[in-house]
Amino acid sequence: MRRLLLILSLLALSVGPMAQAQVAVRADSSAFHARQLIAPGVLLGAGFGIHYLGHEAIDIPVNRWVQEQWRAGGPERTFDDVIQYLPLAMDLGLGLVGVPAEHGFLDRAIETSMGLAALAAVSWTVRDIVKSPRPNGANNQSLPSGHSGLVFFGAEMVRLEYGWGWGAGAYAVATTVAVMRNYNNWHWVSDVLAGAGLGILVADASNWLLEPTKRLLGIRTSDWGSGRRPAVTAAVSPTLDPVSGTICTTLALRF
């Protein structure tokens, strides 16, 4: 599992150097664009459509194949519980170490807070209304997938802030989490599709509502942590203890 986590982390980070060029040419991501509704609309439509119209024809056969042919009685792989947070960490953290972002850290924190609150409220409301049984029979809270919603929310936030250079890595992690929810028998295909669509939609809505929310609350825009300069820099230098003659290391952090 550790090896797989390392591979996924490197995948998310390896495409990052392209992000600077992406940020330079992108239009203002906070403006509403109707085309942004296409992807989440398709995913949500497919998820709920399969749940209500194709559960017997798609959900059950796919789940049976995964459990019998792919997993084949193997143990549950729980690394998806950890890596679901990786895109969120990328969204909030990359700008702090000098990767150019669309917004400063405070704006990203506001977007993330609004989005997570909305995602949780909508997800739990839909679950209580639909009451879809999980494939493993644990409970009736299967639709939509919470893991998929969270990780695709984070992946879309990374794309909006840093472009597709970093966004591609974040979406690779999100796709892995969605697949593993089916592999571990916690969700149907329809659940992860609906969760992914909901996460992307909430991320876009949080981005659109950022400026109105700041105006309403009287919050000023700050570029700190936007990547235009490193918000956190570190320097390591050797020093010599004049008393003992021991060579030491000094770490200096600047915020």
**92-138 pLDDT, tens digit each:** 999 999 999 999 999 999 999 999 999 999 999 999 999 999 999 99
Closest CA to 203 of 234, 174, 240: 174
The pTM of this model reads 0.81
The count of other CB atoms within 10 Å of the CB of residue 235 is: 9
CA 135, 42, 208, 8 torsion-angle sign: positive
Q: Which residue has the tokens 């296409």?
A: 38
E strand or H helix at 224: none
Q: What is the mean pLDDT of each run of 10 residues along the chain (255 residues)?
A: 43 38 44 87 98 97 97 94 97 95 96 97 97 97 98 98 97 98 98 98 96 94 80 54 57 53
